[in-house]
Amino acid sequence: MNLLISVIGLALATLRENKVRSFLTLLGVMIGTGTIIGVGSILTGLDGAVTGAIRSLGTNTAIVMKIGPSFGGGRTPEQRMRRPLTYENVVAIEERCPSVEHVSPILQPPNGVFRARYKGNDAYQLNLFGTAEYYATAGQADMNTGRFFTDAEDRHRSSVAVIGQDMYKQLFGKEDAIGKIILVAGHQVEVIGVMNPPAAALPGQNDNRIIVPYFTMRKLFPTAQEHQLMVEAKEGKLAAAIDEMRSVLRQERRVPLNKPDSFDISTADQLVDQFHSVTEIVALVMVVLSSIGLLVGGIGVMNIMLVSVTERTREIGVRKAIGARRGDIIIQFLTEAVVLTGLGGLIGMLFGWSVSMVTRFFLPNLPTLVPLWAVLLGIAVSVGIGVFFGIWPASKAARLDPVEALRYE
């Protein structure tokens, strides 16, 4: 133990004698390790936030879409040619699927730039859609003030709306919104409720929802066609409900037996699995990019150790002359290389942790967390770099002839 402490002390003394050179040598290791820690923490936080948002749909809920989410993947020609889902599909599922509890159609307006206005306040980035009363009972609308619309208001096409928390702040500030009339895409609607932000929101996502009754949306936008269906299955019958819906929708949409579904049914677990497949690819890219910095840092460590062997040839000769063995010389130079890269790894970890904290400050919805695997990987890689790239210089030092080394000037 005393020998190891003395060797580490000697290595630190050597680093202090060449501060600038040592810092430049450590830069690659610092960048590589910092990237692993920083990106690893962001990925962990993003994974937790997105997974939480998806799972908030509920374990008994399925979403039916014309084209399912692909998390960055492209659309096939067959998918682009699919017909939109219709309200008739909603009725068919309710009537012919015994395992289904409720179906909430979500009707989106046609493509275009829409504006919401109250007095002199305007908002452009709207998440506008129409749905049924069951959207709230399924837990997707947590009311802060006011209430959600009723099925009677939906059937009577009442011009009412509930709005999200960020939409409320943009239009009303601190003024009470309940009972006020706002203009949405040129149509007057009465605000009857303000929702709380979703419990599991995506990072950087604003709650700009403006939700109107389904049939009101059809009245305001007669050309709207794009539907999503949020289906709540009876307790413990999600798998049966999916099978029933698939059979009914294939019949309704006249899909031939030898053709694939012309729609997509997704559950929370399936969406989470799709997202994880994307983050795994991003993590792999992160490791490859960080390894480039670590490779550059390793080459720098090897170069500085070779220079150190040349500069300290006479010292090596003296040590060998007084009884130092080849193993002692190898241990000394390997320890110096490991201390060098270990310090770089430690500084890189602090840098990555700082990136994580700054990200959490600017994106409160992104619960960045430095994962244990990133810390252990950073330590292992920085130490491994020191050992791997320090072997050659250490072996070169150990092979020096003591007589020739003592005569070296």
From CA 333, how far away is CA 335, in angstroms rounded? 5
Bridge pairing between strands 227-233 and 116-118: unpaired
- Comparing 49-63, 163-177, 394-408, which segment has the lowest mean pLDDT? 394-408
- Is residue 405 pLDDT above 60, yes or no? no
In 220-354, which ranges are E strands? 227-233, 264-267
308 and 384 together in one domain: yes
Same domain, 312 and 390: yes
Say yes or no to pLDDT of 71 above 60. no
Residues 141 and 172 in one domain: yes
Same domain, 39 and 173: no
Phi, psi of 123 (to 5 degrees): -135, 135
Distance, in Å, from the CA atom of 187 to the CA atom of 178, rounded to the nearest integer, reads 17
Domain end call among 267, 289, 316: 267
Among 267, 294, 319, the domain boundary falls at 267
In whole angstroms, what is the distance from residue 251 CA to residue 245 CA? 10
* Contact by Cβ (8 Å): 392, 337: no
Least confident of 17-21, 145-149, 163-167, 180-184: 17-21
Distance CA 29, CA 348 (A): 7
Residue whose C-alpha is closest to residue 334's, from 298, 392, 379, 387: 387
Question: Are 204 and 233 found together in one domain?
Answer: yes
Query: Do 139 and 189 belong to one domain?
Result: yes
Among candidates 195, 191, 173, which has minimal Cα distance to 182?
191
Are 122 and 234 part of one and the same domain?
yes
**How many Å apart are CA 191 and CA 180, to the nearest integer?**
6
- Going 296 to 301 to 304 to 309, the CA torsion angle's sign is negative
Q: What is the pLDDT of residues 135-178, one digit of tens each?
A: 887 667 888 888 999 999 999 999 999 998 889 999 988 889 89
pLDDT of residue 200 exceeding 60, the answer is: no
Q: State the Cα–Cα distance between residues 127 and 201, nearest whole angstrom.
A: 14
Q: How far is CA 89 from the centre of its chain?
A: 34
Residue-level pLDDT at 191:
93
- Read off the pLDDT of each residue in 64-89 and give the average, rounded to a whole number: 77
Closest C-alpha among 378, 381, 334 to residue 356: 378
Q: Are residues 38 and 187 in the same domain?
A: no
Q: Rounded mean pLDDT of 291-303? A: 76
> Which domain does 191 fall in, by range?
60-267
Count of domains forming the chain: 2
Residues 6 or more apart whose Cβ sits within 8 Å of residue 255 = 249, 261, 262
| Spacing of C-alpha 331 from chain mean position | 43
Same domain assignment for residues 146 and 288: no
Q: Are residues 261 and 291 in the same domain?
A: no
pLDDT, tens digit (0-9, with 9 covering 90-100), for 106-140: 998 887 778 889 888 888 888 899 998 888 876 67
82 near 66, Cβ under 8 Å? Answer: yes
pLDDT value at residue 111: 78
* Final residue before a domain boundary, out of 267, 302, 322: 267
